[in-house]
């Protein structure tokens, strides 16, 4: 049986982690947008080069994160099914 106070503590920590992650993502998005606009102003061919490199990096990052994301998906499914408590 799960204790209510322990569950509340876990949910609080999860909310804090989600907030922190959202703040980090927002900060990165701001930096990338500012850098992209700056470089675009300096080099008119930047957009095409950037899009090509972005696609390459997307594939590399996807390969690195896919196992972790699959693992988390599996954990979510187990939690939903009540297999993990």
Residue with tokens 């930096």: 31
Per-residue model confidence as pLDDT tens digits over 17-70: 999 999 999 999 999 999 999 999 999 898 888 889 999 999 899 889 999 999
**Is 78:84 a contact under the CB 8 Å cutoff?**
yes
Residue with tokens 């996807």: 62
pLDDT at position 23: 97
Distance set, CA 32 to CA 11, 37, 41, 62, 73 (Å): 31, 9, 14, 19, 28
Residue with tokens 């696609």: 55
As given in the structure block, the two tokens for residue 81 are: 């099914």
Q: Are residues 36 and 61 in the same domain?
A: no
Look up the domain containing 1 and give its range: 1-42
Q: Are residues 10 and 36 in the same domain?
A: yes
Q: Are residues 50 and 36 in the same domain?
A: no
Has residue 85 got a pLDDT over 70?
A: no
Q: Are residues 31 and 59 in the same domain?
A: no
């Amino acid at each position: 049986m799960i204790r209510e106070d322990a569950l509340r503590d876990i949910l609080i920590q999860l909310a804090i982690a989600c907030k922190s992650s959202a703040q980090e993502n927002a900060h990165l998005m701001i930096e990338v947008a500012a850098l992209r606009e700056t470089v675009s102003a300096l080099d008119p061919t930047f957009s095409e080069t950037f899009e090509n490199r972005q696609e390459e990096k997307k594939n590399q990052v996807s390969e690195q994160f896919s196992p972790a994301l699959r693992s988390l998906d599996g954990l979510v499914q187990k939690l939903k099914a009540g297999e993990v408590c």
